[in-house]
Every structure is written in structure tokens, then in C-alpha cells.
Structure 1
């Protein structure tokens, strides 16, 4: 790393010479009745927003997560094709095709009703005491049916090269702890819908209506008691507080009702310690196991089990599941069976299906073009670090070392996941699910105590997403997001750098956001800052929290600035670094207009296009309460308020609503 500055300067020079001539893609649909400096999101997207209906089967429409809807149509097309073909037993085509066909056989699924889970419910009936309850919980974890205990295997925050056991707070049926303690009308409606859902599940499995309603109240009360121990979403952003390595021998003494030693033995986990992310939950659970009657725990486990599988049983259960989620998300009509099954295959055999997706939809040329974009944005980031006026030279050097060490994954894994242990038959849908879940668990448990495989992916190739994994110091861009409006291999640089370039900059910034900045270049939680520099960094992070806390949605619901600070920081810096990388290209350095728009204007319009989203009010409310990202409008307007080149590109004045004085514009990276 001695000559890292010279190295990056050389790469900067090289990058400007490899810019490719690309076709100009038209930008249309601007609403010129809106001033760009008043609401840039709507200036670019309002005509689309007003003209585009939300499909009845969806909670929203547009880019970002809602692009997974047309993705599922693509996957469904692949699955329809392979499900009708003849392929060798054990081949990926046979497995994904027969899995899909088994789930599309709704006649057989309907005939079976809830028969597939009767053996599990019988096991719950056989529970007589706390030890037998915990044995049931452990055995169900091995087939993906979680309840009051969570277990996972992943890198040790203090030694990222090794996999250890982890456990997290769990056990509630509503999306977050706060739903149990709010009393506003929308939240109360969700609480009541949840109770109705629980009651319906009992009725569908043979319990009378009056008893089912009582059961629902009992379960809700247990849920609420559990929720009192849960950390809030803001509290869970504290990296150090969420790392608590505990000896199993100590846990045995402190939490005898849980019986950690026997529990871990039953799930096949050979370890003498475990990282408990939120210890208060397990302290609470240990007490509740004793204070809540066994009969009530059995009701709780039945509800948890039926709910876990409700979408995989007959239509009455699917309807109950949908009716509850309808209140949460506002989705008006159930998804088609084909769309549901495309998601199910992607969830359970994602890399098998991913191989077929990549072969059909992701050309090698796109991967190569994306690699150039990633490299250029990474180089631009190094230059921005060098120019920071608040960071010392020693910390800058450490930051650039970490930046240079980032692993970049594009499109799909180099080594595909092995599904040889998954047994798929064309006429046993529920058993197919169980086989896939059991095989997935065995892959997970086999990693315990072993070196981390840094080639592993944690999303499927077809998913429209991107992520930063701090414990591996890596950024990942699956093939699913590498399409319009984010990326077009044939589009001009302004659109690609404003699109996927911004996403690349965003993911790189997670390496240096409030959480990522606490990991070193190896992925360990370890301080690499001077005391003075970290204080400066924290003060700028607070500026982001304060600014976004002033933004509101719906009926003046404020954005939770502390909960969304990591994503907001990544958005602000992501646009800034993508713009710098764009200025390294021939188009970015020129002034040639396309469709009457300057290169800079096209860049910023592309930023607005990639967050072009319209959603139901219910889903927006769900988002604002649970999603660590700001809503799409503020993913555009918030960062641009802090981007001086945007002001210059659109002549933003003090009289405009998005205007911030230059001294108040936030620059972190």
C-alpha cells in the first residue's frame, strides 16, 4: 500500500481513456410545471406517477424493489418452460421445473388442506414441560420453522475469517416491537387484523370460533411481553452493543429454562460459545418459559407453525395470510399462483434458477461493462478521500487501504451452490419445501467453526438489489439490478453513472457509514480512526440524522433520521462519488446536449429515474416504520439538496424549496 496515491492517480488517467461511445437514450416525461429545485423527484417522475396505476396484485410499482415483479414474470417464463420439458433426474432443470410444477398443482394442494402440518401440530400436543418444548423448538429450526429461538452461522465480528454461532431477538408476529405499543388508528387496525388472523388459523384447524378468539388474545399477550425485551431498530444499529460473545456454560447458569447446552446439541451445533446479539431477549424468554403456562406456550407454537406454513397450504390458509398482509401493505388482490411460485423457487433454489436466468438474460458484455463502472467509481472515491478537509493523513491512508481491499462481485457467483441434497418430486410440494429447507440448514450448520468462504453470495442472481457486507468488506451487484433504469450496456455514460454508478457509490459508502466505518479492511470490528477524526465523522453523521428527521410523508409522519442514517449517508455520498466518476468520462467532460439536456442534467435525471416508485399509503406507512432506507422521493431530493453540481445544473436558487445554503450542505465522503 506504500504507493497507493500514485497507483490511484495512474488508474484515474487510464479510466478517462477507456470511456466507450454509447448510444443516447431519450429522457422523456418531464413535468415542466414543477421547478427542478422545488421537487426534483416529481419534476422527473410526476407524469409517470400520475399515469401509472399500481397493479392490484402489488403494493407498489416502478423501480427498486418493485422491479422484482417483472423479474418474477421473467422467472415464471423460465419455469414454465423447464417444467414442461424432460430433463435428467437431479439436474437443475429437473429440480426447479418439478418444484414449480408441484406448487402449481393447486388441486392436490387443496385436497391435502392442512394435512402436511398435522404431524407437527401433533408434536406440539405431545409437549408436557419446558424441556420437551425446547426440544420441539430445536427440531423445527432444522427445517426452517423458527419460533422463540433464532440461530445462524456467520463471521465473528472480531475475527472475520472464522464462522461462529449467532443468535438474535425473535418471537413476535408483527413486523417490529413498536407495533405492540402504539395506539394510533392505523397501528390499532394492524393489531386487530393480526388477532383476527391468529383466530382464523385456529378455526381452520378445527377450533371453534369463541375458543379461537381467546387463543388469539393469549398469543398476542405473549407476543407483547416478548416485545418489551426487543431492542428498537435504532438501538440495533449499535455494532458494539450487538456483539456479545457468551460461554455456553455461563448461559446454562443464567438461563436454565432455555437449556442452551441441550438446545445446541439438538440443532447439531458443536460450540462452547455463541454471540448473542440482543441478550435482553433471551433473559426475558428464560423468565417467560417459567411464568407462561405450558398450555399457552403450546397455543403459541401452534399459531407460529400454522402461520409459518399458511402460504403453502390450501386456499383458506392462503386467504387468511393474504387478508392480514393486505392490512399491512395495502395490496388489493393476491398475486397469481405463477408469481408466488416463481418467488418460492427463487427463495429455495435461487442459485439453480439463477443459472438459467443468467444464461438467458445476462450477457458477458454487461458484466465487463459493469466492472469498468465499479472500478471508476472506486477510483473516484479514493480521490474524494484525498480531498477531505476534516480527516488527517493517517486516517486517509487507512480509509484508502480499506477501499482498495474491497471485494467486488458482479452478476453471479463464480461457484454455484450445490443442491444435490435437495430431493424434488413433481407431486409433493410441501415435502419439496421441507427438503430444501432441511438441506439449506445442513449447509449452514456445516460452516460452524470453519473458515469463512468469502465467495459465498447472500442474494440470488435474479434479485433487483445490491448490498455491502462489512464483515467480508465486499460489495455485490447481482444480475437482477443490472438492467434499465439502473444499467444499460448500450446507454450513454450520463445515464449509467447516474443510475448504477450512484448505486455503486452508495454500496461503497456503506463501507464508511455509521456502522461500516467501525470495521477494518479485513472485516473485523476494530478501530482504525484517530480520536479526533472519528469525532469529526460522528458530527457529520449527526447532521444527516438532523436533516432527514425534518422530512415527512403522508399525514406529516417524520422520517426516522437515526434509523435511516446509514442509507441516507450512502445516498448523499453515492451521488457525489458517482458524479465525480462521470466527470472522468468523455461525455462527462464535454458539454454536448442530448434532447436539449446537458450531460450533467442527464446524470441527475437518471438518479431520479432509478428511484421512480409509486406505492400504496399502507405500504408507505409500513416502509417508514420498518425500512432503513428513506422513501424514494427523499432518496432523490434529500441527497440532491446536498449536491452543489445539481444546483449548478438546474440553476437552483434560494427561493426554491430544495435549496440549502452552501455552508449547510453535508459532505462526509
Structure 2
């Protein structure tokens, strides 16, 4: 609101005094003052009356126009017409359904807000789905492309938000880091050299696998079972593959101990992906047949024992390394069938995704001190002792699924050595297929695309792939240059304000919660106070504003402009070594789990922290230059979502210090479970067309935590904005007079989730994604929001499900 204009006018009457200097006969005896005044009034009565009337009219007109003028500027300042506001308004208007004025928001808010988005956005042939966040990511990718394809910024081109500007003495180090980025990007963009290398870089790794886990002629021919000494070299091959970032058979890692979050512990779990994207696919006979055919086609070309030139090269390799005669091999199709059947057994033994996300099921401490009879653990200990630092003693593991480990022992006992070798080779192919440009790999790329509903021969533009490659391997250096171009101190402060407001409002909601015992409420409030908020970018581990820190961080990564595949391996080795080197040290709570350009956010239960990279703090989710209800509606709800994770189906198990412990009373747990079941049932009613076109239901248990967080996030964000607007009234946006500011808060929230998906990708997400489909996150969250229903005057004000 602008300040009211003030209008003041001064009116001076023109008093016409008699001229002094008249003729002699005009001089008379002066009359008494009162008498003279009465006479003058009588003589000029009409003139006086008219003058008074005229003066009154003038005063009235002045008051009227003064009031009008004071309102006129106020009207202008109530409407934001800056370029940022016009841009924001046009984005919303474009996204709205053309029929938005005729649609009932209480009936289908997703169509009302996103109907225009669907019309304006088509999926590229290489996309399985897309939403507003995808557009934001691609905008960031474009900015990063411009950074990577331009020379190092000159001194005059650095913003004040730049280490090169702040510390001129280290600008040379900053440029060396930039050159490393450029070399990695240029090597990825050099498709001619990559195509010329073809399959050879991948074959080098495959040959190494075959050397570490050889198969030679025996009495069993192709059926050499893994008994006795046949298992002894499994640790060697798993160790080699783990250092390249692969996790066949088991996934190994190191991270905070949930019950002692300042201590790093070794964690063992089933592979995040067995072979196909979800275990459900192994029950689909059509997909399974296509997968087997694909594996056979690729193995025919890349397996050391099948393609003639590969067999010759491999035989020379094996002889040079002291191995005996290679076993005769059968048809690639036979081995493909055996490998896929082996994967099917592993998938069957793996926990369902909702159980894999359940801390009460995946936290299983196991000691190795007296583990003589625990064969899988003994095998693991051999690997872990060589991965961990030399001064670290591996005596304890957190095993995510003991039943999987036991089943794995039985599966391996009935699996031939030949099958297992081929399985390891196939894992290498899957892991590095995107880094190879060769005809031999095309069947797998086509199959993967088809499984997601993409055009089989499609691929992202090369520069997009290469920006992602650099972000994956040298992400913190890239983050430093992204921050300089896409972030500001003003944005960081505004982000901190929003997150702090959300925390304050969430505490108020906790105080009003009736199903939680008071003792639990007090601990919950303490937990909110202790939540660490990380906004924008890291300043430690590493400090991206310190070029020297970045240089040290990546010093072991070797980058050359002509060795793309080798660059990738070097990047992978660093990632793995950093993880294992943390053993024996306190948990580094300064580390971030996402690079700065990432359009995402997260809550980390053991660290009790919420993290918002600068990538998600971009238009249209976040903008310091538009009315605050837009940023509170979108980014504020994201912030509230992450904070709500501290009390969802997983976060509730962690106390204010990040310890996995039972800190809720029984009655509070019962109150939570009763309300949580409502969310499970609500979202399970949402469906997408399944493989057979029958309705495939959303997994209400798998998506429970995210759905609870969505509801809590919007509720806290709306309360936070209501408090802010009382202090600083917001302006309106042009062209959106149909909506109140309250309503635009929810429009902004829903805009973030506008998107579309191919059928096949939607199915895959139902199987594996702990998030509900984007459209369901709009409909379900609005159905659970009392504030939404009151803002849009819905007939039914009561939320379907509610926690806070």
C-alpha cells in the first residue's frame, strides 16, 4: 500500500483597499467603525452571499478531489505492475484452465490451476514425465550450460556474491577449478571421440570382472556351483565393483547410526535396484520376456565368451594374467535366461518398498565379533575390512533386511559360477550404459526407454546429459558458479525468514494438538527449535565460496578433455572413498546431500535438519520481487513439508537430538496411527491406468510420510503467511481479480505440482516412488486443508484427514 496522497490548497481573497490620494472634496470627517461596517455589509449583501456560496463550493470540491487524489495513488500501489509481478501473473494465467472461472475449485482444483499447463507443455520423446520442477531444473541446466560454454568470468563479470570478488588472492585457484569443470564438460560433449572409443572402455571393466571372478573348465562344465572355495573370490569382485559405485547382491555404505547420530556406522541393505526398476516387473511375463531378449542381445555383443573379437581379446587377457583355459560357453540366450531368473529370485527376497522405508524394520544392528556361523556376514566383513580405513575395526553392521541376507545365502548356493559371472558383467553394462556410445548397448537403451513410455531411440540433448555429468562428479565446483549467477543475499535472507516463520507456526499448531500428550508436545516443540535449517549453499564440507577448499576436495579426481569414460570412473571412485573415509570419525553435520543447483529439498532425521538448495529457490516457486503469498504458497509449503517430515511415519521415531528412540507415549502413538490410517485409505483410492489398463491404486502405506508432510506443510505455510500479511499487506497481481490473495496462496501451491506423465512412467512411480502422483498431491492435500476449503467457500469445510 502506498502512502495516501495529501492535498492542501491556500485561498487568498483579493482585498481591494481604497486608493489614498483622491481629490480634495472626497475628504470627510471619518465615521465610527461599527457604523461604517454595517453600512458596508448592507450595501454588499448580495456580493457577500455569492462569495460565501462560491467559497463553500470551492472547499467542497477541494475536499472531494483531495479525497479522490488520495485514493487514486492508493489504487495504483495496491496493484503490483513491476516486471516481476507481470511475469508471475502471466505464468499463473497461462497455467490456469481456459474455463477456470466456470470450474468449481472444491471439485477439481488440479484442472482449474493446471489445465492450461497441460495444453502448453508436451513431453519430449526422451521424457517420461515432467512438472513445474522439471521446467525449473531445465532452466537451471540452461544457465549452467551458459556458464560451462563461456570462458572464465573476467573480474568485471563477477558479482559481489562471488569468492573471486571477495578474495582476489585466490582467483587463480578459482580459475583452475573452473578449468577442471570445463575439461569434464568438454570431454562429455566430444561425441566424436566417445563414438570412436565405442565399446572398448566398457570392455576393459568387463574383462577386469572376468579376471577377478573367472570361470574355467571343470567337470561341471557350465554348472559350477558356488560351494566351498567357489565363494572365496566373491569379496574380491564385490570390492572392485563397489569402488566403482556399483552394488550387486548387496548395497554397502557408511552413514550416521540412527541410534547414535554422531557416530558413522556401516550399513548393508539389498540393492536399490536389482535389474528391472521394480520387483513388480518380474511378475509381468511380457516385460520379463522383452528383458531377457534384451540381455541376450547385449551379452552376444559384449560378453568375453560370445562375440569373436571379444573372446579372442579376453583369452589373451586371461592368459597374460595367469588363468587357465576358458570354459566353453553356451548360447547367450541361455545365460540371459539364467541371469534374469537369478535377478527374479533376488527381487522376491527383497523387502517391499514400504518396508524398505520403515525404520522399525530396516534398523537391525548386528555384531561381527561372534559371527562364525553367519556366513553372509563373514563374507561381508572381508569386503568391509578392505573398504574401511586401515585403523578402523569392522565389528558392527546395521543390516536393513536380515531375511534378505539369509535368502541370499541360499540363492547363491544354488547358482552356478557362470551365471554369477554373467550377472556381474550385466551389472557393469547397466551401470555404464549411459556413458557409452556404441551399437552393442543400443538394445538396452531402447528397452529402458520403452519401459518408461519414451521413444525407444530418443535421448536427451547432449548438453543436458553433460551438465548432469558435471553436476554428478564435480557438483560443488559447479555449485559455486551457479550461486554467483542465480542467488543473492536477499534471497537467502528471505528463505531464512520463510523457514523460521514455518517453524514458529508449526510450534503453535503443536500447542493446539489434542491427540498428543502434553509431555510429548513439549518434546516436539523442543525438536522444532533444534531443527537446523540450511539455506542456499554449504559454507563447510566443502565451503563452496572457498576455491582452495574446493580444490582440495576434488584433488583426487583426474579429468582429461579426451577421456570421458575414465573421467566418470575417477568421479565415482571419489564419491565412494569419501563415504568410507568417514568411518572412525564423528558425523560431519556440515555436509549437504544435494548440490546447489538441485531443484529439491530434504529432511534428514538423524541430523534433524532441513535443507533447501538454491536450485529450488527460483521462480516460480520462490521470488523476492513478487507478493509474498506466492512464495509462501509454493516454497513455504515445501519448507513446511520438510519440517513436517520430522513428525511423519518415519520422523516421529527420532527425538530432538536425532536419536532413533521411542519418545512418544502409547496414547500419542495410538492417536497418530488412527489419523495416519485415514491418509493411507484416502490416497489408496487414487488410481492410474495399470499395465492391463485396469486401475492401479496408489500405495497408501508407501506414500504415507509424504502425504502427511504435504498436509502439514500447507497448513503451517498458510498460517505463516497470514501472520506476515498482517505486518505487511500484500499487493494484488494484474489480471487475477477473480481470486483473493488467500486463494492465490493455494493456486501458487498447486502450480508447483502441475505436470503430466506417460502411462508407463506413472506405473513405475506407483511401484517405487514414496510420493503420490503430482495431481494427487494437489487433490489430496486440498481435500485435507481446512484453510483451502474456507478460502474457496467449499460447502464441506472439514478436512478428509488431518494431523495438525
**One fold, TM greater than 0.5?**
yes
Q: Report the Cα distance in structure 1 between the residues aligned to 2:387 and 2:351, rounded to whole angstroms.
A: 26
1:631 aligns with 2:756: no
For residues 249 and 176 of structure 1, the distance between their equivalents in structure 2, rounded to whole angstroms, comes to: 35
* From 355, 371, 382, the counterpart of 1:235: 355
Flag structure 2 segments of 5+ consecutive residues without an equivalent.
1-79, 155-170, 215-229, 309-329, 543-549
- Counterpart in 2 of 1:5? none
CA distance in 1, matches of 2:377, 2:623: 56
Q: Does 1:166 align with 2:166?
A: no
CA deviations on 1:507-537 (whole Å, 9 max, x unpaired) are 0000000100000111110122111111111
Which residue does the alignment assign to 1:326?
Answer: 449
Query: What's the CA shift for 1:233?
Result: 0.9
3-state SS of the aligned residue for 1:409? Answer: strand
Alpha-carbon distance between aligned partners in 1 of 2:645 and 2:377, rounded to the nearest angstrom = 39
Name the counterpart of 2:507. Answer: 382
Any conservation in 1 of the 2:299–2:332 contact (CA below 8 Å)? Answer: yes
Cα distance between partner residues in 1 of 2:376 and 2:782:
54
Whole-Å Cα distance in 1 between the matches of residues 153 and 468 of structure 2? 19
1:391 aligns with 2:516: yes
Aligned residue number for residue 148 of structure 1: 249
- Closer, same or farther: CA 84–572 of 1 in aligned 2, 3 Å: closer
Whole-angstrom distance in 2 between the partners of 1:355 and 1:52: 31
Which is worse superposed, 643-652 or 61-70?
Answer: 61-70
Identify the residue that residue 447 of structure 1 maps to in structure 2. 582
TM score, norm. by length of structure 2: 0.76
Pick from 474, 498, 515 the counterpart of residue 633 of structure 2. Answer: 498
- The 3-state SS of whatever aligns with 1:231 is coil
Counterpart residue number, 1:28: 93
Once residues 654 and 373 of structure 2 are traced to their aligned partners in structure 1, the CA distance between those partners, rounded to angstroms, is: 33
Instruction: Indicate which of 537, 541, 547 corresponds to 1:412.
Output: 537
Q: Is the 8 A contact 2:530 2:656 kept in 1?
A: yes
C-alpha spacing 1:89/1:65, structure 2 compared with 1 (3 Å): closer
CA distance in 1, matches of 2:128, 2:792: 33
Instruction: Report the alpha carbon displacement of residue 478 of structure 1 after superposing the two structures with TM.
Output: 0.4
Deviation per CA, 1:40-98: give whole Å up to 9, x if none. Answer: 01101102212321122322233134532333222222222259999879922121111
CA distance in 2, matches of 1:368, 1:591: 19
Report the more deviating stretch, 205-214 or 490-499: 205-214
Q: Please tell me whether residue 400 in structure 1 is matched to residue 520 in structure 2.
A: no
> Relative to 1, partners in 2 of residues 1:347 and 1:537: Cα closer, same or farther, differing over 3 Å?
same
2:414 is the alignment partner of 1:272 = no
Q: Secondary structure at the match of 2:331?
A: helix
Shift of 1:100: 0.9
Larger deviation, residues 585-594 vs 368-377 = 585-594
Is this contact kept in 2: 1:380–1:581, CA < 8 A? Answer: yes
* TM-score, with structure 1 as normaliser: 0.90
Residues 257 and 216 of structure 1: is their aligned pair in 2 closer, same or farther, counting only changes over 3 Å? farther
- Deviation for aligned residue 1:386: 0.7
Among 186, 192, 200, the residue aligned to 1:107:
192
Matched, 1:520 2:655: yes
Q: Tell me the residue number matched to 2:723.
A: 584
| Cα gap change, 1:375 to 1:317, in 2 (>3 Å) | farther
- Following the alignment from structure 1 to structure 2, what is the Cα–Cα distance between the partners of residues 517 and 180? 34
Larger radius of gyration: 2
If asked which structure has higher relative contact order (CA below 8 Å, sep 6+), I would say 1
Do the aligned partners of residues 325 and 34 (structure 1) sit closer, same or farther apart at CA in structure 2, a change above 3 Å counting? farther
Cα distance in 2, alignment partners of residues 584 and 239 from structure 1: 36
Query: 1:264 deviation in Å?
Result: 1.6
Counterpart secondary structure, 2:450: helix
Map residues 242-261 of structure 1 onto 2, 5 A cutoff. 242-255=362-375, 259-261=379-381
Tell which deviates more after alignment, 631-640 or 53-62. 53-62
Q: Are 1:176 and 2:176 an aligned pair?
A: no
Cα displacement (A) at 1:576: 0.7
Are 2:462 and 1:337 aligned?
Answer: yes
Say whether the 8 Å CA contact 2:433–2:441 is kept in structure 1.
yes
Judge which range, 529-538 or 48-57, deviates more. Answer: 48-57
2-side partners of 1:291 and 1:235: how far apart?
A: 27
Alignment of 1:11-26 (within 5 A): 24=85, 25-26=88-89
Spell out, residue by residue over 1:368-400, the C-alpha distance to the aligned partner (whole angstroms, 9 max, x if none): 111111111110101111111222221110000
After TM superposition, give the deviation of residue 588 of structure 1 in Å: 8.8
- Matched ranges for 1:208-219 at <5 A: 211-219=331-339
Match status 1:290 vs 2:413: yes
Query: CA separation of 1:524/1:65 partners in 2, compared to 1, >3 Å: closer, same or farther?
Result: farther
Alpha-carbon distance between aligned partners in 2 of 1:588 and 1:323, rounded to the nearest angstrom: 57
Is residue 147–residue 481 contact of structure 2 (8 Å, CA) maintained in 1? yes
**Mapped partners of 1:585, 1:64: distance in 2:** 26
Equivalences for residues 544-559 of structure 1 within 5 A: 544-554=679-689, 555=693, 556-559=695-698
Q: CA deviation at 1:585?
A: 1.4
Report the more deviating stretch, 286-295 or 584-593: 584-593
Matched residue count = 637
Alignment-derived partner of residue 5 in structure 2 = none
Match of 1:74 in 2: 143
Could you tell me which residue of structure 2 aligns to residue 53 of structure 1? 122
